[in-house]
């Protein structure tokens, strides 16, 4: 049985694209889709040059602000491969969504702006990749603008991110002086020509490095001399290419180019597809689950409500980890212990959908969620009962009390905050033992408060007021038998509970955390919750 779908699984490549905002991630994603024939004309990321918006940004607030706040899933075919791209939010206030998305990817493409180098958000996201030990491929973008020194860029990646670099190609100049790139493996220079921005056409001329006369006549003696000096330096200083080290996340292959003008994008895509892996085995409570040897299994990594305004629906996104999914089959929802058919299985291309009959390990599918799925849930065949590892919940760093302006809209308010919380964008808590009278919202980044306000107003017709709270630290209580009434803390400690009734503590400062532990012998506090 496995033989029938082994070839389908092995041609899948599932990766996430991560970057600091404005490094050109969405543009690069669009160009991949252009090469795959999935779209015919690239849109403008911020909707300025044309009326089109980036295909991977679909929520209204994203279009207004020109930022990605949710992760989109895009699938396309290229050169015999079936490619699943997980586009992630670039803004650090949405790093938790990015973390969950990386749980569903087998590798990551890190986009760096050549004039800015490693930025704050890149560091944070990179640490997530290191935690997961996933292979990282680096695309240094915007070479058609003035860039930092190339050796300094590589040095910065190595120092800041703690990973060895191996340039696969090497840029010749930058900005107005950008002539092209030297391909180290082919020993050839690929010459740059400014292509029309929305299309993939554009001529790439290759000249062997050994043909010095021809090269000098095209790029000039100075650029040629600098290039040969840098190649000599590079051969002595950079790490040797080692595919095993790339796949274990210890070495990042580096590529240079310009996503806006398409230069170097297809070359990067071709190299990347050869270097990255087929869908990887995943860890479950019964051991590692091989994608080909096992029947269907999947886990939910994202829930998104109201993707379609007309239907007010909820979609649960799941990564298929093993086997083949068939729309007519029954599956077991492990956490709910129910055997069911998945309703309206679909493939999502930004806000466009296509109903699916089948999908394979490595694919990402969306299914209608009547409110039963949670992030981290496992699905498998009815006779099995495997469970994938849960996805950790980031500790919120900002808290606010939330009240609806119109008290008559209590029902919509509770429904709205609960549904948005189930997506994982915010976490909601209540005062201990008071029910949902007092709603406290916790977020990783303050921009999420704006998104909450916007979405409640837009999708649930509820206006809210946010009252910031002084708390900065939250701790989950690991002790199952704790008596919350007898727990003694500091004056700035607040007892709360989550939607599942789990007790938690809020603190204004870290000193209070230590004091509370001292005053309650045997108390175990954790910085992470589990979905």
DSSP state of 93: G
pLDDT reported for residue 151: 94
Tell me the C-alpha distance between 251 and 420, whole Å.
38
| Same domain flag for 258 and 320 | no
Asked whether the whole model's pTM tops 0.95, one would answer no
pLDDT reported for residue 48: 35
Mean pLDDT of all residues in 132-149: 92
pLDDT reported for residue 197: 52
The answer to whether residue 210 sits within a structural domain is no
Tell me the C-alpha distance between 170 and 150, whole Å.
8
Mean pLDDT of all residues in 18-26: 80
Burial 13-46 (b: 16+ CB within 10 A, else e): bbbbbbbbbbbbbbbbbbbbbbbbebbeebbbbb
Taking only the tens place, the pLDDT of each residue in 244-284 is 999 999 999 999 999 988 888 988 999 999 999 999 999 99
The answer, yes or no, to whether residue 154 has pLDDT greater than 90, is: yes
| Same domain flag for 269 and 298 | no
| Same domain flag for 464 and 420 | yes
- Give the rounded percent of residues in the chain with a pLDDT score beyond 90: 40
The answer to whether residue 17 sits within a structural domain is yes
The answer to whether residue 405 sits within a structural domain is yes
| Same domain flag for 365 and 398 | no
Taking only the tens place, the pLDDT of each residue in 228-242 is 999 999 988 778 899
Write down which residue in 352, 380, 408 finishes a domain: 380
Out of 152-156, 410-414, 482-486, which region has the weakest mean confidence (pLDDT)? 482-486
Tell me the C-alpha distance between 350 and 219, whole Å.
41
Tell me the C-alpha distance between 507 and 465, whole Å.
23
Note down the domain range covering 349.
282-380
CATH number, domain at 259? 3.40.50.300
CATH number, domain at 286? 2.40.30.10
CATH number, domain at 467? 3.30.70.3280
pLDDT reported for residue 116: 92
pLDDT reported for residue 52: 43
| Same domain flag for 406 and 355 | no
| Same domain flag for 10 and 102 | yes
| Same domain flag for 7 and 130 | yes
| Same domain flag for 61 and 166 | yes
Q: Rounded to the nearest 10 degrees, how much is the dihedral formed by the CA atoms of 418, 424, 430, 435?
A: 30
DSSP sequence for 12-25: EEEEEEEE-TTSSH
Tokens matching residue 192 = 């740059």
Alpha-carbon Rg for the chain, nearest whole angstrom, is 25
Write down which residue in 275, 296, 322 finishes a domain: 275
Q: How many domains is the chain built from? A: 3
| Same domain flag for 430 and 319 | no
The answer, yes or no, to whether residue 139 has pLDDT greater than 60, is: yes
The answer, yes or no, to whether residue 323 has pLDDT greater than 70, is: yes
What Å distances lie between residue 138 and 122, 264, 283, CA to CA? Answer: 11, 13, 27
- With a CB cutoff of 8 Å and minimum separation 6, the contacts of 398 are 442, 443, 444, 445, 446, 449, 468, 472
Sign of the torsion formed by the C-alpha atoms of 183, 184, 187 and 189: positive
The answer to whether residue 98 sits within a structural domain is yes
Sign of the torsion formed by the C-alpha atoms of 262, 12, 86 and 276: negative
| Same domain flag for 317 and 247 | no
The answer to whether residue 255 sits within a structural domain is yes
Taking only the tens place, the pLDDT of each residue in 167-191 is 999 999 999 889 999 999 899 999 8
| Same domain flag for 88 and 110 | yes
Q: Partners of 431 in the beta sheet?
A: 496
Taking only the tens place, the pLDDT of each residue in 36-79 is 776 655 443 333 333 344 555 445 544 554 444 344 678 888 99
User: How does the average pLDDT of the chain come out, rounded?
Assistant: 83
Distance of CA 105 to the CA centre of its chain: 8
| Same domain flag for 118 and 157 | yes
């Amino acid at each position: 049985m496995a033989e029938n779908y082994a070839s389908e699984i092995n041609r899948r490549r599932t990766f996430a694209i991560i970057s600091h905002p404005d490094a050109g991630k969405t543009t690069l994603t669009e160009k991949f889709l252009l090469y795959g024939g999935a779209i015919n004309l690239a849109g403008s990321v911020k909707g300025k040059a044309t009326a089109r918006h980036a295909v991977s940004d679909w929520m209204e607030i994203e279009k207004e602000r020109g930022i990605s706040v949710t992760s989109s899933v895009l699938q396309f075919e290229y050169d015999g491969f079936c490619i699943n791209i997980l586009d992630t939010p670039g803004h650090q206030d949405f790093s938790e969504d990015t973390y969950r998305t990386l749980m569903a990817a087998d590798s990551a493409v890190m986009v760096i702006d050549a004039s800015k180098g490693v930025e704050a958000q890149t560091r944070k996201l990179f640490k997530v990749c290191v935690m997961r030990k996933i292979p990282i491929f680096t695309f240094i973008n915007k070479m058609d603008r003035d860039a930092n020194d190339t050796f300094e860029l590589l040095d910065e990646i190595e120092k800041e991110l703690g990973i060895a670099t191996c340039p696969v190609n090497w840029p010749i100049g930058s900005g107005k002086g950008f002539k092209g790139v030297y391909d180290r493996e082919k020993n050839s220079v690929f010459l740059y020509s400014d292509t029309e921005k929305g299309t993939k056409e554009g001529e790439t001329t290759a000249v062997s490095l050994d043909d010095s006369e021809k090269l000098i006549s095209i790029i000039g003696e100075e650029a040629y001399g600098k290039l040969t000096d840098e190649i000599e330096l590079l051969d002595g200083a950079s790490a040797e290419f080692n595919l095993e080290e790339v796949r274990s996340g210890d070495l990042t292959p580096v590529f240079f180019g310009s996503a806006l003008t398409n230069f170097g994008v297809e070359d990067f895509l071709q190299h990347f597809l050869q270097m990255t892996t087929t869908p990887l085995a995943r860890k479950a409570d019964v051991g590692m689950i091989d994608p080909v040897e096992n029947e269907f299994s999947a886990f939910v990594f994202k829930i998104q409500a109201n993707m379609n305004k007309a239907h007010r629906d909820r979609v649960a996104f799941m990564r298929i980890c093993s086997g083949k999914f068939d729309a007519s089959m029954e599956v077991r929802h492990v956490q709910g212990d129910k055997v069911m058919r998945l309703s309206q299985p679909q493939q999502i291309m930004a806000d466009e959908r296509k109903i699916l009959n089948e999908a394979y390990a490595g694919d990402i599918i969306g299914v209608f969620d009547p409110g039963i799925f949670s992030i981290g849930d496992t699905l498998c065949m009815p006779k099995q009962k495997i469970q994938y590892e849960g996805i950790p919940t980031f500790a919120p760093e900002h808290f606010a009390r939330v009240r609806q302006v119109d008290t008559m809209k209590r029902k919509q308010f509770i429904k709205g905050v609960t549904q948005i919380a189930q997506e994982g964008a915010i976490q909601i808590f209540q005062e201990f033992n008071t029910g949902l009278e007092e709603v406290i919202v916790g977020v990783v980044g303050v921009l999420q408060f704006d998104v909450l306000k916007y979405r409640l107003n837009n999708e649930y017709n509820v206006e809210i007021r946010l009252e910031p709270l002084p708390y900065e630290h939250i701790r989950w209580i690991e002790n199952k038998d704790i008596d919350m009434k007898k727990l003694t803390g500091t004056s700035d400690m607040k007892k709360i509970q989550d939607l599942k009734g789990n007790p938690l503590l809020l603190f204004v400062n870290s000193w209070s955390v230590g004091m509370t532990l001292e005053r309650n012998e045997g108390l175990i506090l954790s910085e992470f919750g589990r979905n």
